[in-house]
Amino acid sequence: MLIIDQATYDAILAHARRDHPDEACGVVTGPEGSGRAERFIPVPNAAMSPTYYEFSSEDLLQVHKDLWDRDEEIVVTYHSHTATEAYPSRTDIARAEEPNSHYVIVSTRDGAEQQSYDGPVEFRSYRIVDGVVTEEDVKIVAAYAEVPSSELGDN
Amino acid sequence: MAIELRVPTILRTYTGGEKAVNGDGATLAEFIDNVNGSHPGLKERIVEGEPEELRRFVNVYVNDEDVRFTGGLTTTVKDGDVVVVLPAVAGG
Tens-digit pLDDT profile for residues A29-48 = 999 989 999 999 999 999 99
Question: Alpha-carbon distance B89 to B29, whole Å?
Answer: 24
List of E strands, B1-92: 3-6, 20-23, 47-48, 53-54, 58-62, 65-66, 82-87, 90-91
Report the gap between the CA of B2 and the closest CA in chain A (Å): 19
**Mean pLDDT computed over A45-61:** 97
pLDDT at A149: 83
- Which is the CATH superfamily of the domain at B3-87? Beta-grasp domain (3.10.20.30)
A72-129: per-residue pLDDT in tens?
999 999 999 999 999 999 999 999 999 999 999 999 999 988 999 998 999 999 999 9
The ranges assigned to domains in chain B are: 3-87
Which domains occur in chain A, in start order?
2-152 (3.40.140.10)
* Helix, strand, or coil (residue B58): strand
Closest CA to A42 of A26, A53, A55, A56: A26
pLDDT at A77: 98
N-term to C-term CA, chain B: 43
Nearest residue in B to A64, CA atom:
B86
Q: Using alpha carbons only, give the angle A57, A108, A28 rounded to the nearest 5 degrees.
A: 45
Q: ipTM surpassing 0.85, yes or no?
A: yes
pLDDT at A153: 72
CB contact under 8 A, B90 and A95: yes
Nearest Cβ partner for B9 among A25, A95, A100:
A100
* Of A125-129, A143-147, B61-65, B84-88, minimum mean pLDDT range: A143-147
